[in-house]
Amino acid sequence: MEEESKSLPSKDNFSEWYNELLMTAQIMDVRYPIKGVYVWYPFGFSIRKKVYNMLRNLLDVDHQETYFPMLIPKPELLKESEHIKGFEDEVYWVTHGGLSELEVPLALRPTSETAIYPMYKLWIRSHADLPLKLYQIVNTFRYETKHTRPLIRLREITSFKEAHTAHATWDDAEKQVHEAMDLYSEFFTKLAVPFIVHKRPEWDKFPGADYTMAFDTMMPDGKSLQVGTVHHLGTKFAKTYDITYEDEKGERQYVNQTCYGISERCIAAVIGIHGDNKGLVLPPNASQTQVVIIPIIFKKDDGGVKEACQKVKELLRANDIVAVIDDADERPGAKYYKWEMKGTPFRIEIGPRDIKNNSVMLVRRDGKKESIPMDGLPETVRNKLFEFQTDLLNAARDSMLARVKACETLDEAKQQIENGWATMPWCGEKACGLEMENAVNCKLLGEAHTIKGAGKCPICGKATDRIITMARSY
């Protein structure tokens, strides 16, 4: 699996750049013989591992991880009619075991409500069992008929983190919605992925939910990428699957539920937002390796360079900073190319002159270069990693916000969404919303707390202080 020296198309041509980068940096191999199904390269999976361990650590504070079956019997899947309507065209069906036809066809889970909630019915009996907060990280399946794209639109979603909670009251569940949003905010901030949270319009909420809050980020082409969702399910599923508890007074009540999910789209966002023409740019939190050390050797007598590299590596590792030495028999330039392609946050170059100065040359993946003293090296590197992480997030957030623009007319919005998102007043009526989507050829992402304003609905002309975000979307 040797890398090739190959240059990427310019990131201005985002779609082409993205596809090339996934192969060249060895994130995903697109050559698997099923449309919409891709293979994680080991390097790509190292990012997945790092990112999902971070997600696990956040969840494990007050959730428990578990695992529910991948196969769902047809009658269970069909029980919740509103829910299944959202998925029925996209479900894969297992009809045969060996050469025999199955009596009951089995669905590959498109998401796991219908696998989990029949068990919740058995597990929850009393108010003392609440709240129940479980999650799992699993593969899910959608028979996508739209254009598929690695990490973004998949027939096998390999890394779906889905949490499912049950609570005594609607308000308790709403509180959980906010806790989940806080948790996701922390997660995406750690990933240096900026986002705006939208409350999805009624017609675009999760099938069966009371409402849906979605984390949207902006890709370099201005399109929105939904990277996380949090749903308040109310008692909808509880009524279908008969999930009840006995309250303090001894009366049976339906539970109120929430569910929230994140998929490998979070990694697509990191790649798409931060990468550049040289390859990946990984925030330190998403990279297995934080620092690559490159020995700069001019002649046979290395002047102590190798020894110094070893010492720096051990110093950093002793301080929980993952550093590796690239001592391959290649020119430094070839090594720079390779590690830049892989997005390693920092490169440390050590040559005879650095040793003389008792310092090393630190190069950030974004090109910033400075000599730093050996004294206090681990602390300096740690601080600078944090600084780099923060710089990435701030730059990405600024870039996103600069491309969100309040528009006054539908024509203006239509132009705006070519490179970003448009915001406009909206009266709140579905008919007007759908007409806006049609007129602008976009999706209404919904309303965001963080975007305020007032004006007139562009369709019916009613005065309103509701502002809605419009975007082309993945």
Using CB under 8 A, list all residues that contact a second copy: 1-2, 29, 31-34, 37-42, 45-46, 48-49, 64-71, 73, 76, 88-100, 106, 108, 115, 118-119, 122-126, 128-129, 132, 134, 138-139, 141, 143, 145, 155-156, 158
What's the distance, CA 315 to chain centroid? 33
Q: Work out how close the CB of 123 gets to a second copy at its nearest, in angstroms, rounded to a whole number.
A: 5
Task: Tell me whether residue 329 or residue 465 sits nearer to a second copy (CB atom).
Answer: 329
Q: Work out how close the CB of 248 gets to a second copy at its nearest, in angstroms, rounded to a whole number.
A: 15
Residue 164 contacts residue 116 (beta carbons within 8 Å) = yes
Task: Tell me whether residue 14 or residue 41 sits nearer to a second copy (CB atom).
Answer: 41
Task: Tell me whether residue 5 or residue 100 sits nearer to a second copy (CB atom).
Answer: 100
Q: Work out how close the CB of 79 gets to a second copy at its nearest, in angstroms, rounded to a whole number.
A: 11
Task: Tell me whether residue 91 or residue 183 sits nearer to a second copy (CB atom).
Answer: 91
Q: Work out how close the CB of 125 gets to a second copy at its nearest, in angstroms, rounded to a whole number.
A: 7
Q: How many CB atoms are closer than 10 A to CB 48?
A: 18
From 11, 433, 396, select the one nearest 192 (Cα to Cα). 396
Task: Tell me whether residue 46 or residue 389 sits nearer to a second copy (CB atom).
Answer: 46
Q: Work out how close the CB of 355 gets to a second copy at its nearest, in angstroms, rounded to a whole number.
A: 31
Q: Work out how close the CB of 14 gets to a second copy at its nearest, in angstroms, rounded to a whole number.
A: 25
Task: Tell me whether residue 42 or residue 367 sits nearer to a second copy (CB atom).
Answer: 42
Class of residue 352 by CB neighbours under 10 A (exposed 0-12, middle 13-18, buried 19+): middle
Q: Work out how close the CB of 29 gets to a second copy at its nearest, in angstroms, rounded to a whole number.
A: 6
CA dihedral sign of residues 51, 280, 230, 156: negative
Q: Work out how close the CB of 37 gets to a second copy at its nearest, in angstroms, rounded to a whole number.
A: 5
Q: Work out how close the CB of 139 gets to a second copy at its nearest, in angstroms, rounded to a whole number.
A: 6
From 275, 30, 314, select the one nearest 148 (Cα to Cα). 30
Task: Tell me whether residue 99 or residue 402 sits nearer to a second copy (CB atom).
Answer: 99
CA dihedral sign of residues 420, 424, 428, 434: negative
Cα gap 239→80, rounded to integer Å:
9
Task: Tell me whether residue 91 or residue 293 sits nearer to a second copy (CB atom).
Answer: 91
Q: Work out how close the CB of 469 gets to a second copy at its nearest, in angstroms, rounded to a whole number.
A: 31
From 187, 198, 189, 168, select the one nearest 258 (Cα to Cα). 168
Q: Work out how close the CB of 64 gets to a second copy at its nearest, in angstroms, rounded to a whole number.
A: 4
Structure tokens at 101: 């036809």
Cα gap 369→271, rounded to integer Å:
23
Residue 198 contacts residue 214 (beta carbons within 8 Å) = yes
Task: Tell me whether residue 90 or residue 387 sits nearer to a second copy (CB atom).
Answer: 90
Residue 405 contacts residue 383 (beta carbons within 8 Å) = no
Q: How large is the C-alpha radius of gyration of the chain? A: 25
Task: Tell me whether residue 46 or residue 229 sits nearer to a second copy (CB atom).
Answer: 46
Task: Tell me whether residue 115 or residue 173 sits nearer to a second copy (CB atom).
Answer: 115
Cα gap 183→217, rounded to integer Å:
16
Q: What is the dihedral of CA 386, 399, 271, 227, to 10 degrees?
A: 100
From 31, 55, 71, select the one nearest 137 (Cα to Cα). 55
Task: Tell me whether residue 106 or residue 427 sits nearer to a second copy (CB atom).
Answer: 106
Q: Work out how close the CB of 51 gets to a second copy at its nearest, in angstroms, rounded to a whole number.
A: 13
Helix (H) or strand (E) holding 347: strand 346-350
Residue at token pair 């009613």: 462
Class of residue 33 by CB neighbours under 10 A (exposed 0-12, middle 13-18, buried 19+): exposed
Cα gap 12→101, rounded to integer Å:
51
Cα gap 89→103, rounded to integer Å:
21
